[in-house]
A and B are shown apart, each in its own frame.
Chain A
């Protein structure tokens, strides 16, 4: 297999892996914690946060050097295709968390408490948060809302030794009372509530607060009033950091058949949806034209002797057509050099598709 790094400890001898994940030792050494985040905030360095929901997105977010990866309940919408964040369960969130943790050893990993997993009581909130840590493997949890009961829940979770990121402004789980995904803090009272809720969450021990979809002056006020960092989304530039949803910032949903709209506060930093569409169209075209797979992508071989014996065996069981097809295919693919005498021998290593005694690894 290509790739320079020697096999990691988790690879067992004699088992081929197709280049599965490797531990990223150097990355893990520069691991983000709530302490490193506090340091950034004190130095006035903006904090970057992006959502991820599975292994490959986690790898990408980690590789790009983003500070915090949020396993968001936005998974309900962007991964599962629901219209809002309500349907995703804690069990599903745990699966998303695990996959992300496997892919991102360096950033701080925050797991969202999904709708219905923490609102009944502080005890329920603590239990759910514990599951996210214990079974999900995350470093911290996020919960939405600033009502007194939510603040009480946050406090209980912090008291249980779990770092909590708060979330005020537009809180998508409250879509029912909000009457939709509507920006908040646009009146004086609403704006004050945002600031007060953020302060209360700080008081309860939160290490950061997300401000979602509020006017910039409101976010600025909250950020100034707080000692802990604010992470904004649709809240203007005057927050301590920013967060965006992975799919939105990548322009993932650009297929013409699909009219999912990127929120207007979200800049598209890439056109991944278009790239994907183009690649898939190309694959389809090449398969339908018979040009993929060509010889470059048809690596597994049989020696001419092998093919002849195979064809004989097929004829013996009455499959003459198949025998002819095998012979024709072998003729068509006769561009590879065969190493050695071309005859199969006992104990020959034929790992890489070429019959050889060199035994090259796949």
Chain B
């Protein structure tokens, strides 16, 4: 009942358009996606998939359009990752992003993706001080961010306790072990984990502890495939892998990486080697922008088909006369010439 009420509220909120008669005006704003919202993914849906052995798909999103894309592609879970710090904000690590900023990302994603399960990352610094701080932050991610669940990193006892406290507050928690990017300081970099026996056993044990604390799933990042296989086998909840091989219950990738968003040679950002590029979006974008620039510089764009707003010949005359009276004869001539040109449907004449 509560679910459908909040869904209804969301739809109603989206229909409250401030623009007058939006369909017929310049910018047709975004429309609600009623049918997709009906097939909403919940932790229960995921449990069902996991039981039936169906791999779970997760992709990150950080704004409205990426959320729309992830939703439209039928992806199960949309993760608003603190990887935003790197791919959206251009930092070298995930550390700089604040909870306030994560909430903005969450909100934008929530607007765009009514169907997938929405998981919001707790960013570095928002949950490590105490279980109380962790609960407060998690509450904000749901209350203000509009998310369905949160993710937090780490398997130390204090992190496990924090996870437990959040679950007890009624908030679904996705754990995250292996390479935990927020711990870059102690890890000494983005280094794969679980490569020694002790480290590998720790990965399995912490995953189990997080399950015990009530997590509904656990991300395994950058560990060898046998370690991920072991953890996946030991757990009853699903594992979501990234750089962890094919034996997880599901997979997650960063939006920009899987799309090949940043491949331009001038920019040396490298896609991680565990990430397959399923598209060449960066190249497509570069090509489109170069073409736009070229057409602007040769005055090919905008042509007549992209110059839709007209003024009647009578009004052009009135306009030109008024300009003359104001002493703006060049302007008057320009207006008249432009009107003649568009009447002929001809090429734009000359330059400013």
Chain A residue at smallest Cβ distance from B16: A83
A56 to B319, Cβ gap below 8 A? no
Is the pair A84, B339 in contact by a Cβ cutoff of 8 Å? no
At the interface, yes or no: B143 with Cβ under 8 Å from chain A?
no
Evaluate contact between B195 and A300: CB separation under 8 angstroms.
Answer: yes
A-B contact pairs, 6 of them (CB 8 A): A50-B289, A54-B62, A280-B59, A299-B243, A322-B204, A325-B247
Contact with B along A223-256 (1 / 0, CB 8 A): 1110001101011111111101001011111011
Task: Fill in one digit per residue for A178-198: 1 if any B CB lies within 8 Å of its CB, else 0.
Answer: 011111011110011001000
Segment touching B, from A18-26, A125-133, A158-166: A18-26
Cα–Cα, bound, A234→B192 (Å)? 51
In B217-259, the 8 Å CB interface with A consists of 222-234, 241, 243-247, 250-251, 253, 256, 258-259
Chain B contact residue count (CB 8 A cutoff): 152
Q: Chain B residues with Cβ under 8 A from A234's Cβ?
A: 26, 306-309
**Chain A residue nearest to B273 in the complex (CB):** A299
Highest count of chain B CB atoms <10 Å: which of A19, A172, A217: A217
Cβ proximity bits B279-321 to A, threshold 8 Å, 1 near / 0 not? 1111011111111110111010111001111110001101110
Interface string of B26-56 (1 = CB under 8 A from A): 1111110101100000000000000000110
Contact A319 B246 (CB under 8 A): no
Contact A216 B269 (CB under 8 A): no
Known: A258-B72, A310-B197, A314-B201. A175 touches B224 (CB 8 A): no
User: Which A39-64 residues sit within 8 Å CB-CB of chain B?
Assistant: 41, 44-48, 50, 53-56, 58-61, 63-64
Chain A CB within 8 A of B12 CB: no
Docked complex Cα distance between A251 and B256 (Å): 17
From A175, A224, A327, name the one whose CB has the most chain B CB atoms within 10 angstroms.
A224
Contacting residues, chain B, for A215 (C-beta < 8 A): 309-311
Does B88 lie within 8 Å of A270, measured CB to CB?
no
CB distance from A119 to the nearest CB of B (A): 17
Whether the Cβ atoms of A217 and B336 lie closer than 8 Å is yes
Given A15-B184, A81-B30, A183-B26, A325-B230 contact (CB < 8 Å): yes
- CB under 8 Å from chain A, chain B span 54-98: 54-55, 57, 59, 62-65, 67-75, 86-93
Q: Complex formed: what's the CA distance from A82 to B108 in Å?
A: 9
**Which of B194, B243, B289, B332: most chain A Cβ within 10 A?**
B289
In the bound complex, what is the Cα–Cα distance between A15 and B319 (angstroms)? 65
In angstroms, Cα B226 to Cα A300, docked, is 10
Q: Tell which of A1, A24, A235, A321 touches B266, judged by Cβ atoms closer than 8 Å.
A: A24
Q: Which of A60, A77, A188 contacts B282 (CB 8 A)?
A: A60
Cβ of B333: which chain A residues have Cβ within 8 Å of it? 224
Q: Would you call A14 an interface residue if the criterion is a C-beta within 8 Å of the partner chain's C-beta atoms?
A: yes
Within the complex, the shortest CB–CB distance from A68 to chain B, in Å, comes to: 11
B5 at the interface (CB under 8 A from A): no
Partner of B64, one of A17, A80, A281, A314: A80
Please, which residue of chain A has its CB at the minimum distance from the CB of B19? A180
B30 x A83 contact (CB < 8 A): yes
Does A271 make an interface contact (CB < 8 A)?
Answer: yes
Q: Does B1 contact A (CB under 8 A)?
A: no
Is A206 interfacial (CB-CB < 8 Å)?
no
B267 within 8 Å of A (CB atoms): yes
User: Which of A263, A277, A329, A330 has most chain B Cβ within 10 Å?
Assistant: A329
Quick one: which of B17, B229, B293, B349 contacts A66, CB cutoff 8 A?
B293
Tell me whether A324 and B69 are in contact (CB under 8 A).
Answer: no
Cα of A216 to Cα of B311 in the assembled complex, Å: 8
A260 to B31, CA, bound (A): 7
Instruction: Please measure, in the bound complex, the distance between the C-alpha atom of A182 and the C-alpha atom of B22, giving whole angstroms.
Output: 10
CB distance from B58 to the nearest CB of A (A): 9
Is the C-beta of B132 less than 8 angstroms from some C-beta in chain A? no
- Cross-chain contact A79 with B247 (CB below 8 angstroms): no
Contact A293 B274 (CB under 8 A): yes
CB distance from A36 to the nearest CB of B (A): 15
| Given contact pairs A280-B69, A319-B230, A98 touches B89 in the complex (Cβ within 8 A) | yes
A202 to chain B, nearest CB (A): 13
Which B residues touch A185, using CB under 8 A? 309, 311
Q: Is the CB of A297 within 8 A of B276?
A: yes
A210 to chain B, nearest CB (A): 14
Contact of B280 among A220, A252, A275, A309 (CB under 8 A): A275
Once the chains bind, are A302 and B281 in contact (CB under 8 Å)?
no
Q: Measured between alpha carbons, how far is A223 from B233 in the docked complex, in Å?
A: 70
